[in-house]
Amino acid sequence: MSKNAYFPNVSGISYEGPQSDNPLAFKYYDANRRIAGKTVKEHLRFAVCYWHSFCANGSDPFGSGTLNHPWEAASNPLDRAKRRLDAAFEFFGKLGAPYYCFHDRDLAPEGETVKESEANLRTLVSLAKEQQKATGVKLLWGTANLFSHPRYMNGAATNPDFRVVAHAAAQVHAALEATVELGGSCFVFWGGREGYSTLLNTDMKRELDNFGKFLGLARDYGRKIGFQGDFLIEPKPMEPSKHQYDFDAATTIGFLRHYGLDQDFKLNIEANHATLANHTFAHELQTAADAGLLGSIDANRGDSQNGWDTDQFPTNIYDAVESLLVILGNGGFKHGGINFDAKVRRNSIDLDDLFIGHIGAMDTFAYGLEVAVALIESSAIAKVRSERYRSFAQGAGLDFTRGSLNLTQLRDYAADLPAIKAESGKQELLENIVNQYLFRGGKG
């Protein structure tokens, strides 16, 4: 298949700078620019997601597909999968995306039997491996789709029927092999059906125990076949299940620790899942980071006026800065990166809309990176924050921090204190500092 078959009108996206009016050029993402010891590309580790970009057709609960992608024009599912792969790698190359992410069923169609599905996946994996070699594009993470097929309507690893649990295991087994074969950095579990609708039919404790056991078996098999990256859980509070077991970062961290999985598993935090849980993206990232479990992110955004997962491309500069402050404060990505779990709107039907969506998102994070680095290097925020906690850095406060004061000693300390003079939290000042760096484009 020609390298120019599906996007003939786009030759390649390059950096043209903020003054460019070319919609098919980066205004801020300058991949090889060095900042804070690394290139922008190395900091951000952008990944294109296969499902929204090459499998989704724009259908919604009220209407059928609108997108009519040229790579879908084949009646045999395996041929279609091969055309998708060609389209995907043509797109990755032209966009200059260093990574991609997939579910097993995005890459290859499900067969009639487990063995047929495994064979389909192996066929596509060997083609993807050739494409990776030819283009230099790498796999950020693989995952198994354990939510679309009707067999998973009552859950996958948490299904009340053991036969379905075993089927899910077979899928994870094959998806792990595919991820290892393609040199994937991470392996994700998003538990779309791992939850319940009513307690009246649900033994929650058994389901959670089974989930913990299942993930432990996946870890053991992954390590056995040489997977050295991070296993990741992607929290989401609802949709499609009413109560999802991986509700948010804090819930998932408790689960991982309870089942002894926190040495191998980390979190993949998605922006729109955070907002559905009534948190900010930054809150979820900080919760994961503080637990030593921040692995990767699914970057997108929701719509503030409705309460479902709209998976829009991220364009909000404030969110990008806030999230990068946490990510950089945590030392940046190791195995993870920024996966755009985002799709163009169903009425964005031109093929170049897919490029435009990614360009905007990549520019947003590239700009956010400049601002976040400048804020960190200036210590403008860190100074105000550490000043707020200075009483723990000396004297009795330091003793308390070290755990050497008991409750009575705290009482005695308080009893001798003069009246406490309250201090300002300085929120407006801090918000203005963030804006000030935004106005300057991050350049201190």
Q: Write out the catalytic residue numbers.
A: 103, 106
* 284 lines the binding site for Co ion (CB under 5 A): no
298 touching Co ion, by CB under 5 A: yes
- If one asks whether residue 270 binds Co ion (CB under 5 A), the answer comes out as yes
Residues 337-366 that bind Co ion (CB under 5 A): 341
* Residue 105's binding partner out of ligand XUL, Co ion, none, with CB under 5 to 8 Å set by partner kind: none
Shortest approach of ligand XUL to residue 226 CB, angstroms? Answer: 23
Contact between 311 and Co ion per CB under 5 A:
no
Q: Residue 201: exposed, middle, or buried by beta-carbon count in 10 A (0-12, 13-18, 19+)?
A: exposed
Q: Which does 309 bind (CB under 5 to 8 A by kind): Co ion, ligand XUL, none?
A: ligand XUL
- Write down the least CB distance from residue 291 to Co ion, Å: 20
Q: What are phi and psi of 340, to 5 degrees?
A: -85, 90
DSSP state letters, 292-339 = T-EEEEE--B--TTS-S---BPP--HHHHHHHHHHHHHTT--SS--EE
At closest approach, how far in Å is the CB of 342 from Co ion? 9
- Taking alpha carbons only, the member of 307, 339, 348 closest to residue 57 is 348
Chain positions contacting ligand XUL, by CB under 6 A? 103, 143, 188, 190, 234, 236, 270, 298, 309, 341
Q: Please, which residue, 142 or 442, has the CB nearer to Co ion?
A: 142
- Closest distance to Co ion from the beta carbon of 90 (Å): 24
SS3 state at 267 = strand
Least Cβ distance, residue 44 to ligand XUL (angstroms): 18
Q: Round to whole Å and give the CA distance between 233 and 253.
A: 9
Q: Which is nearer to Co ion, 268 or 287 (CB)?
A: 268
| Residue 278, Ramachandran bin (φ over 0: left; ψ between -120 and 50: alpha; else beta) | left
Interhelix angle 162-181/114-135, rounded to 10 degrees, is 20
Helix, strand, coil in percent for the chain, rounding step 5 = 50, 10, 40
Q: Which does 143 bind (CB under 5 to 8 A by kind): ligand XUL, Co ion, none?
A: ligand XUL
Residue closer to Co ion, measured from CB, 120 or 287: 287
Other CB atoms within 10 A of residue 55 CB? 22
Nearest residue relative to ligand XUL (C-beta): 190
Q: Which is nearer to ligand XUL, 83 or 103 (CB)?
A: 103
Nearest approach, Cβ of 298 to Co ion (angstroms)?
Answer: 4
Nearer CB in complex with ligand XUL: 13/182: 182
Which of 94, 312 has the CB closer to ligand XUL?
312
Nearest to 242 by CA among 183, 200, 297, 180: 200
- In whole angstroms, the minimum distance from the beta carbon of 270 to ligand XUL comes to 5
Judged by beta carbon distances under 5 to 8 A according to partner kind, the member of ligand XUL, Co ion, none in contact with residue 69 is: none
181 near Co ion, judged by CB under 5 A: no
Provide the 10 A C-beta neighbour count for residue 338: 25
Nearer to Co ion, 298 or 322 (CB): 298
Between 171 and 325, whose beta carbon lies closer to ligand XUL? 171
Going by their DSSP bridges, the two strands 186-189 and 99-103 should be labelled as unpaired
Question: E strands along 75-194, which residues?
Answer: 99-103, 138-143, 186-189
Which range in 212-220, 255-263, 291-299, 360-368 contacts Co ion by CB under 5 A? 291-299
Cβ distance 147 to 156 under 8 Å? Answer: yes
399, HSE (Cβ side, Cα atoms, 13 Å): 9
380-388 helix and 352-378 helix, angle to the nearest 10 degrees: 60
3-state secondary structure of 102: strand
Both ends of the chain: CA-CA distance in Å? Answer: 48
Least distance CB 63 / Co ion (angstroms)? 23
State the binding string over 46-85 for Co ion (x if CB under 5 A, else -).
----------------------------------------
41 binds, among Co ion, ligand XUL, none (CB under 5 to 8 A by kind): none
SS3 109: coil
Half-sphere exposure (Cβ direction) of 71: Cα atoms closer than 13 Å: 25
Residue 30 near which of ligand XUL, Co ion, none (CB within 5-8 Å, type-dependent): none
46-49 and 338-340 strand pairing: parallel
From the list ligand XUL, Co ion, none, partner contacted by residue 236 (C-beta under 5 to 8 A by kind): ligand XUL
Q: Which residues of the chain form contacts with Co ion (CB under 5 A)? A: 270, 298, 341
